Structure 1
Amino acid sequence: MPAQDDALKDRLSRYRQINLSVTGRRSGRTISQPVWFVLDNDNDKVYLLPVRGSETQWYKNVLKHPSIRIDARGADAEFHAVPVTDQTQVSSVIEKFRAKYGAGDVKKYYSKFDVAVVAQMR
């Protein structure tokens, strides 16, 4: 694994927030925003939970353009994003978020829990 990927994985293991860059489904422009995430270090996966579920704009963009970029304070990489709609799998991602951020904060900031995203490092 390249050193850049190691630096990203190291930062992902320590940070609570990343910058997610997606391609706009209409504009084609790169759109970046901070998001929470959960790292699965064993499988080079990052779990993302859209704050407004399937109504979240970045999630709608991922449906059209699944190639995303994740940046953790200067260490970044491209990922392939896979939407998750199966409720059992979505519930699993929600539990991972609750374990990392606390059930209270997840309840406070997330309003709809119908989808998630699994991003695989390329």
Structure 2
Amino acid sequence: MSTEAVMDAFDGEQEIEITVTGRKTGRQISHPVWFVQEEESMFLVPVSGSDSDWYKNIRRTPAIRVAANGTAVNSSATPITEPDRVDHIVGMFRDKYGADQVRSYYPKHDVAVQVPLG
């Protein structure tokens, strides 16, 4: 499936399911998360920022599976810690989900995660 087809499959979705490898158990762990897309990548913001367990898991093992709407992609997650890039991604979250929603669900946004879809 082409990158464009994958992005189209996720377009319009409000939530995806991510599957990561537990850093302590080694088991596959799935979570529903919000996301935004830009330039052939998906971007995620952990609800508790760098304190989120799934974020800590991808720092140990960057393999990630993202799935929604019958489409799934295996990729490698890259943590983003540069404040300007994190702010840009949080701004995209505000545009998609609304500033009030982002403010209430994401009290700490010190990091983000990039997931290439190609």
TM-score range, shorter chain: over 0.9
Deviation at 1:3, TM superposition (A): 6.0
Superposed CA RMSD:
1.5
2:12 to 11, 14, 26: 14
1:111 to 67, 87, 107: 107
Q: Which residue number corresponds to residue 52 of structure 1?
A: 48
Gaps of 5+ in 1: none
Q: Which residue number corresponds to residue 25 of structure 2?
A: 27
Gaps of 5+ in 2: none
CA distance 1:5–1:76, shift in 2 (3 Å): farther
Deviation at 1:73, TM superposition (A): 2.8
Q: Number of aligned residue pairs: give it.
A: 118
Q: How many Å separate the matches in 2 of 1:5 and 1:23?
A: 27
Query: Which amino acid is 2:35 matched to?
Result: F
Q: Which residue number corresponds to residue 88 of structure 2?
A: 92
Q: How many Å separate the matches in 2 of 1:4 and 1:54?
A: 28
State the SS of the aligned residue for 2:77. Answer: strand
Scaled by the length of structure 1, the TM-score of the pair is: 0.91
Identical aligned pairs, as a percentage? 40
Q: Deviating runs (4+, > 6 A) in structure 1?
A: none
Q: How many Å separate the matches in 2 of 1:47 and 1:76?
A: 15
Deviation at 1:9, TM superposition (A): 2.1
Q: How many Å separate the matches in 1 of 2:12 and 2:104?
A: 23
Q: How many Å separate the matches in 2 of 1:53 and 1:3?
A: 31
Q: How many Å separate the matches in 1 of 2:3 and 2:95?
A: 28
Deviation at 1:10, TM superposition (A): 2.1
